[in-house]
């Protein structure tokens, strides 16, 4: 129960908080772009079983590997890709919180 709450809380509320704090004038667009970071969870479809609440995504799925995470951090540097990068980093942080709670 707590895990489910933490999972969705982080994945949806964390980008919202960041959008409201740092992108006040256009927080809706910022929030929407950062939510797109959730899309990297498609790599879960490659794994069996697709969803396993007791598995840590970090380091297990190809889009959650340390190489991919490094790439997400680099995406935060250029202004153009910053929001996408931020969304992806927030996603990884949320997944990491999940792992920590296991
Ligand atoms: Zn994930």
Distance CA 40, CA 7 (A): 15
CA distance 18 to 27: 9
CA 54 to chain centre: 18
- pLDDT on residue 3: 65
Look at residue 49 in the predicted model and tell me its pLDDT.
77
Separation of 92 CA from ligand 1 center, angstroms?
A: 6
- One digit per residue, pLDDT tens: the chain, 102 residues? 666 666 777 889 999 999 999 999 999 999 999 999 989 988 887 887 776 777 888 988 999 999 999 999 999 999 999 999 999 999 999 888 888 877
What gap in Å lies between CA 71 and CA 85, rounded to an integer? 8
Å from CA of 46 to ligand 1 middle: 13
Entry pTM: 0.85
Distance 80 CA to ligand 1 centre (A): 23
Residue 11 Cα, ligand 1 centroid: separation in angstroms? 9
């Amino acid at each position: 129960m707590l895990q489910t709450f933490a999972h969705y809380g982080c994945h949806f509320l964390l980008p919202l908080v960041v959008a409201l704090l740092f992108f006040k004038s256009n927080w809706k667009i910022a929030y929407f772009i950062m939510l797109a970071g959730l899309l990297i969870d498609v790599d879960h479809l490659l794994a069996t079983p697709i969803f396993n609440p007791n598995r840590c995504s970090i380091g297990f799925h190809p889009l959650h590997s340390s190489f991919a995470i490094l790439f997400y951090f680099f995406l935060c540097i250029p202004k153009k890709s910053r929001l996408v990068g931020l969304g992806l980093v927030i996603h990884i942080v949320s997944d990491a919180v999940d792992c920590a709670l296991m």
